[in-house]
């Protein structure tokens, strides 16, 4: 008998009908001779509503009460799923994160899992129950309720699968798997059969929000393979796992696009220690996330520094940087909204040369101007005008042959 952990996201349990569909799937898995643990998110929209309610009730709710409130969304959903299983003649029991043995640190609203004691779950499985666990939550050593950050049910599922030594962890969601690019942008995009943890992390970081990044990091650290698949279909999804030797044969696994970006440039920044620190400390005080950072080579003891932020943060960033420009003796700060980041991701880049050249050539031929470039070992990101993003993604997808089979690609020149 195998042990299987199935996680269902908010849309998968978004209505009574969908909850009954989940219950059926759980029973099917059990009938196929598995011990079954379900990890459930709050019904779609519930967490957002609770946050809104809190803000309308109090100008500054404490993080502790926030967690008590938010954890109720998952509790409600697990009880409903257990009821649905029971109504179909099965035997299910719902558990809160605390009851399931999820122990966290004391950082409310973004707690880290410290340890899982799955004893009760194992006992209940032994008694033949389908165990339905509330995702996104745990408790501190003192027994206070904590939550794991938005999208945290993914992390609950991966961590429970790891602690239980599960044979499989399936993340059921409203997409069919991980695609070579967003199919709304590139209709030929293909569902991948497999992806390395690092590739999924880079895709997520670059705007393809299939899974909570922390959950993928956890899976990587503890070696918990998982499958992302649709809760509305029976087709297999995409398996995320440790990289295998043959995975490097694929040069580019996927392309991700992040819109609504802004590019900020500081001109003639004195080439002295501490200048960059002043700039980015100012930005950090407002919790603005900075990505692609490029500093030009020093020319007459000054450099230009450019970086990207979300367009919504632009006004605030400009406000914060104006005094800094004066203080450090730079000549000016300028900015452009309406930008996008396009990233090509693949661990094959480590062993294949010419990927950057091929990317730039394809964008050049499409008359798409590259504003900034940044690279990691397995990712190349270009910042381009948002109006060109869709075309750029289609050209790149075509160039790297991602549509043909989802894996096979022509030789790199």
Q: Choose between 159 and 342: whose C-beta lies nearer to ligand ASP.
A: 159
Residue 180, contacted partner among ligand ASP, Mg ion, none, CB below 5-8 A by kind: none
Q: How many CB atoms lie within 10 A of CB 373?
A: 14
β-pair partners for 26: none
Residue from 9, 73, 97, 135 that binds Mg ion (CB under 5 A)?
A: 9
Piece of the chain touching ligand ASP by CB under 6 A; list 19-27, 152-160, 315-323, 373-381? 152-160
Residue from 136, 172, 197, 226 that binds ligand ASP (CB under 6 A)?
A: 136
Q: Does 12 bind ligand ASP (CB under 6 A)?
A: no
**Inter-residue contact 211 to 177 (CB < 8 Å):** no
Binders of ligand ASP among 73-92, rule CB under 6 A? 73
Residue 391, contacted partner among ligand ASP, Mg ion, none, CB below 5-8 A by kind: none
What is the DSSP code string of 208-277?
--SS-HHHHHHHHHHT--EEEEESS--S--EEEES--GGGGG-S--EEEEEEEEEEEEEEEEE-STTHHH
**Inter-residue contact 153 to 176 (CB < 8 Å):** no
Locus of tokens 């996330």: 289
Residue from 47, 173, 261, 306 that binds ligand ASP (CB under 6 A)?
A: 47
Residue from 151, 207, 254, 406 that binds ligand ASP (CB under 6 A)?
A: 151
Q: Does 207 bind ligand ASP (CB under 6 A)?
A: no
Q: Does 10 bind ligand ASP (CB under 6 A)?
A: yes
Q: Does 14 bind ligand ASP (CB under 6 A)?
A: no
Q: Choose between 51 and 403: whose C-beta lies nearer to ligand ASP.
A: 51
Q: Choose between 136 and 400: whose C-beta lies nearer to ligand ASP.
A: 136
C-alpha closest to that of 130 among 13, 25, 21: 25
**Inter-residue contact 112 to 104 (CB < 8 Å):** yes
Q: Choose between 136 and 179: whose C-beta lies nearer to ligand ASP.
A: 136
Q: Choose between 43 and 98: whose C-beta lies nearer to Mg ion.
A: 43
Q: Choose between 47 and 261: whose C-beta lies nearer to ligand ASP.
A: 47
Residue 152, contacted partner among ligand ASP, Mg ion, none, CB below 5-8 A by kind: ligand ASP
According to DSSP, residue 191 is labeled B
User: How many chain residues touch ligand ASP (CB under 6 A)?
Assistant: 12
Torsion of CA 230, 236, 240, 243, to 10 degrees: -160
Task: Kindly state the tokens that stand for 77.
Answer: 């959903």
Binders of Mg ion among 16-55, rule CB under 5 A? 41
According to DSSP, residue 343 is labeled E
Q: Choose between 21 and 86: whose C-beta lies nearer to Mg ion.
A: 21
CA atoms within 13 A on the CB side of 226: 36
Q: Choose between 46 and 363: whose C-beta lies nearer to ligand ASP.
A: 46
Piece of the chain touching Mg ion by CB under 5 A; list 2-10, 219-227, 291-299, 351-359? 2-10
Q: Choose between 215 and 255: whose C-beta lies nearer to Mg ion.
A: 215
Classify residue 251 by burial, with Cβ atoms within 10 Å: 0-12, 13-18, 19+: buried
Q: Does 135 bind ligand ASP (CB under 6 A)?
A: yes
Contacts of 13 (CB under 8 A, 6+ apart): 19, 22, 40, 41, 43, 44, 77, 80, 81
According to DSSP, residue 151 is labeled T
Residue 406, contacted partner among ligand ASP, Mg ion, none, CB below 5-8 A by kind: none
**Inter-residue contact 156 to 219 (CB < 8 Å):** no
Residues that bind ligand ASP (CB under 6 A): 10, 41-42, 47, 73, 135-136, 150-154
Residues that bind Mg ion (CB under 5 A): 9-10, 41, 151
């Amino acid at each position: 008998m195998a042990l299987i952990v199935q996680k269902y996201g908010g849309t998968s349990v978004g209505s009574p009908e969908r909850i009954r569909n989940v219950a059926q799937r759980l029973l099917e898995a059990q009938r196929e001779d598995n011990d079954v643990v379900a990890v459930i998110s709050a019904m779609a929209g519930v967490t957002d509503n609770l946050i809104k309610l809190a803000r309308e009730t109090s100008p500054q709710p404490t993080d502790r009460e926030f967690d008590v409130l938010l954890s109720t969304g998952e509790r409600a959903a697990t009880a409903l799923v257990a009821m649905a299983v029971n109504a179909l003649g099965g035997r299910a029991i719902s558990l809160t994160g605390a009851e399931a043995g999820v122990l966290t640190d004391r950082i409310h609203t973004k707690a880290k899992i410290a340890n899982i004691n799955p004893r009760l779950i194992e006992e209940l499985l032994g008694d033949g129950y389908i165990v339905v666990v509330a995702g996104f939550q745990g408790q501190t050593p003192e027994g206070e309720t904590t939550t794991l950050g938005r999208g945290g049910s993914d992390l609950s599922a991966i961590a429970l699968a790891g602690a239980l030594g599960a044979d499989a962890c399936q993340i059921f969601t409203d997409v069919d798997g991980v695609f070579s690019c967003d199919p709304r942008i590139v209709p030929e995009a293909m569902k991948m059969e497999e992806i390395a943890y690092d590739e999924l992390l880079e895709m997520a970081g670059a705007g393809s929000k299939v899974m909570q990044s922390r959950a993928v990091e956890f899976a990587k650290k503890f070696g918990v393979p998982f499958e992302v698949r649709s809760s509305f279909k029976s087709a297999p999804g995409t398996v995320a796992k440790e990289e295998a030797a043959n995975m490097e044969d694929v040069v580019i696994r996927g392309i991700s696009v992040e819109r609504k970006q802004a590019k900020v440039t500081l001109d003639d920044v004195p080439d002295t220690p501490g200048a960059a620190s002043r700039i980015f400390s100012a930005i950090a005080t407002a919790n603005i996330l900075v990505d692609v950072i490029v500093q030009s080579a020093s020319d007459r003891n000054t450099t230009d520094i450019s970086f990207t932020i979300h367009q919504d943060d632009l006004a605030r960033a400009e406000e914060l940087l104006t005094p800094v420009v004066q203080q450090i003796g730079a000549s000016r700060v300028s900015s452009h909204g309406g930008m996008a980041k396009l990233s090509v991701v693949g661990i094959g880049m480590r062993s294949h040369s010419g990927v950057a050249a091929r990317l730039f050539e394809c964008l050049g031929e499409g008359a798409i101007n590259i504003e900034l470039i940044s690279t990691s070992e397995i990712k190349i990101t270009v910042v381009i005008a948002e109006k060109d993003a869709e075309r750029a993604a289609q050209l790149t997808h075509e160039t790297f042959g991602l549509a043909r089979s989802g894996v096979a690609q022509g030789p790199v020149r």
